[in-house]
Amino acid sequence: MRKNHHTHTPRCGHAVGEEWEYAEAAIEAGYDSLGFSDHTPWPGTISPGMRMTMQELPDYISAVRNLKERYGKKLDISCGLECEYYPEHMTWLKETIEEYSLDFIILGNHFDYVQNSNLYFGNCRTKDDIILYLKTTISAMTTGVYDWLAHPDLYLRDYDKFDDTCLKTAREICYASRNLGVPLEYNLLGLMSSREGRFSGLGYPYHKFWEIAAEENCSVIMNVDAHSPKHLKDTAIYDEGIKHIEKLGLKRLIYTKEGLVEAD
């Protein structure tokens, strides 16, 4: 059976479809497990239009929990958040995890606000941009808050060559992943988008990054990163992702109520 624990909702401003539509699509496509992980709000105004507001958070949690009641016999539904790493807000994040008994937290290192640069790491253009992505990613991984790292090769999305800085970044992220026990996510939305020519650079998942992940004996979790119910229905891309992971010899993990365990 298929599993996905990276699913968004319209609250983030760039996803479509209601929660129940994702659940129905998952059941139709042969999933037995579906985790919602919409982009977290943060105190203050941080990248509006890319995430829910603070006021929408309780409704998001309630909607997913109601879905669990409705579809519980057909689909194991869990609730988490996809979060950046902003040191000044980590106390708030930890309190939120406890308050709502969230099932999992994904590290999605999209934006830098540590230096107030408003840099989107999917638009890395310089070596300094990539080094900043590396530093903030490693810092986040050391906190013990995050269950896995989403699209770890996001920095290659619009970067045009795999140079020494890209290599160093891949190697250090993969080394940290193995030694800190933070698995890497093989992101199927990235694979879909690369096929559609939506990235101006190397894109992701990028094969050289994942070859290094294999060399470092990293563990991987594969997720759809669904921003539309139709993404869950693309079973061909799901099966292709499994084949890529198996060809590389990576250990694939799946999320369960007991935590991350090795896939059969």
Spatial separation of the C-alpha atoms in residues 184 and 241, rounded to whole Å: 14
CB proximity list for 97: less than 8 A, separation 6 or greater: 105, 145
Rounded mean pLDDT of the chain? 96
Spatial separation of the C-alpha atoms in residues 29 and 19, rounded to whole Å: 16
CB atoms within 10 A of CB 61: 19
**What confidence tens digit (pLDDT) does each residue in 53-67 have?**
999 999 999 999 999
Q: What domain count does the chain have?
A: 1
| Per-residue pLDDT at 44 | 79
Phi, psi values for residue 94, rounded to 5°: -60, -40
With cut-offs at 50, 70 and 90, classify the pLDDT of residue 50.
confident
Percent of the chain with pLDDT over 70: 97
Judge whether residue 115 has pLDDT over 60: no
With cut-offs at 50, 70 and 90, classify the pLDDT of residue 112.
confident
Spatial separation of the C-alpha atoms in residues 231 and 228, rounded to whole Å: 6
Spatial separation of the C-alpha atoms in residues 157 and 177, rounded to whole Å: 20
Lowest mean pLDDT segment, chosen from 16-20, 25-29, 110-114, 183-187 = 110-114
**The domain spanning residue 175 has which CATH number?**
3.20.20.140
Range of the domain at 121: 2-262
Give the pLDDT mean for 212-226: 99
Amino acid at 206: Y
With cut-offs at 50, 70 and 90, classify the pLDDT of residue 117.
low
Judge whether residue 125 has pLDDT over 70: yes
